[in-house]
A = this chain, B = another copy of it.
Amino acid sequence: MRPLFHPAIEDVRPEAILHALSDPERAAIFAQIAGGGSGGTCAAFANMRERVIPKSSLSNHIKVLREAGLIRCERQGVEMHNHSRCSELDERFPGLAMAILSAYGWLPGEAKAD
């Protein structure tokens, strides 16, 4: 369990990113992690968008985001801290993450309307 797998930035595939963010729930979680607002622990995402996300689903969402190369996860004590890999990503795929979050209307700093 210790060494959680994270793809090297050069192994990150665009299709994985698009697939990961094509689920609005997952995209909302990523937006929150990228925004840096929450502590970044999984529990912070338990209810996104007016729905309670079952924790097995949540765990899976985080895993998909991690394996797609969107976030980095590390255990700190009993909880898992997640943070985005936006700067690395933006170097590899310029403008991608930003355009996607913006399309959802969830760019860090924007209002969360839709």
Contact = CB atoms under 8 A, between A and B. Distances in A.
A73 interface: no
Copies in the complex: 2
A95 B104 CA distance: 13
Interface in A7-24: 14-15, 17-19, 21-24
Interface residues of A, number: 20
A70 to B, nearest CB: 13
A98 B93 CA distance: 11
Given A15-B22, A18-B21, A22-B22, A99 B104 contact: no
A-B pairs, top 5 by smallest CB distance, nearest first, are: A18-B22, A14-B103, A19-B22, A93-B103, A99-B99
